[in-house]
Structure 1
């Protein structure tokens, strides 16, 4: 502690098999080699806070006695995954606070049957899924998870979290209700920066898409079907948002300097903005099959010629 260590090598603890507590905070540690703690069979507590760790893959695996791991105030990025804790089932407390982590992969904590506490505060986590908080049924009571201070994108994927305020379900297990007073949105459709999640309207929690049937974020599960209303991508130079149930789709093509508009519109569109353009021509076929359109079509710009 309070030294200038930069590296922990694989063999450094080979002559200290009875070590139970490692305090290596406030150094400049950038790398801990995998297997560095392999022979420490009774090591219970590790504190490596205020260092420069970026990656801990295969570092804290097969540690049968480890109950507390504190990695707060490092520079870790990427996603927490189950490989971080492989065969280290004694974990009770884990802290990743004040890092740059982007999220959790799958059921990263589900094998930790003794887990009590997970601190994920003040990272760059933009979204969470219920499976990310899927804990072992042997962990009784269920672990407490803290996520305040993250950069949440309040889109359709975070609706379940917002709904925890109204209806407490199994998906909400582990969340701390008192934190909802402080959880904030950093991005989202028609959502102001740093708006409190508890104040966000569910109808504004939409996901932006280019093609809901392709890409990294596929919003539709009906794409192989000929009757699917998701097969039309977002028009070029427009922005499109959709709810997970596809009952609310907004297409915004306003103020894009369109002179003519001939592009097809997603069939699930309910609201379509086309104002602020200088239109000479709109192809009437773009309105075909828009059976869900029910709010309005705004074409308040200067339509010089014809529709």
Structure 2
């Protein structure tokens, strides 16, 4: 017999959904049969599949250890070096500096990703005791954009970070070097169309079918010869938004091979350097107003 004490990471989900994650090789018919035959109980009592689990509930599984192991696929993490640098960490959240050349999510072009590295780092550091939850990366950067990425260590933090991003309570700022001279603050408001096949976007002035609105705030920091250093704030956060939007007004990012000009820079100079956190509630309210910074001179290349 196996007893499982429900933690914050497992609470708030239905019994049957929890069991489908825990006994991830068992089919639904087997799980419902075990519940019906009282081989699976909650707090030593008969339970219905739709009951929502609460913290400190105890799930009892009256099966042999061999049977439980047979229905559990324990996924091993991809073993890889850790390439990111930790900028901020507490018991709920991890903010890292992603290098140029590392994909945020796994893709077909690379065997390593920030998601895999974060999971491996936290698994080794925290000895993660969650039965069904894995740490999650909450925001995304292009492979060749460096900078700050937020990872959540538990389910409640994932929910609150994702909501704060949706509600635009988390502000993201970038540092970049562009071709040409920018003399004043700009508020760019246009529409973007993405060609998924070519993995490229087009900026248009009018709203047309499949176009998505984008808003980019531009603040000049300093002039460097024929170039300008800018701080960028995103109102919307879409793939390639900064690079395509700046290129559309004649100021492409230095080193950008897709939307830019020919130059001697090997890597695009674009770095997510600051995150301002807000929109958190209850036990995560301590994060409100927290500013996390890692300037472009702290970026590095994989």
TM category, shorter: under 0.3
Structure of higher CA gyration radius: 1
* TM-score between the two structures when normalised by the length of structure 2: 0.24
The structure showing larger relative contact order (alpha-carbon pairs under 8 Å, at least 6 residues apart) is: 2
More helix by share: 2
More strand by share: 2
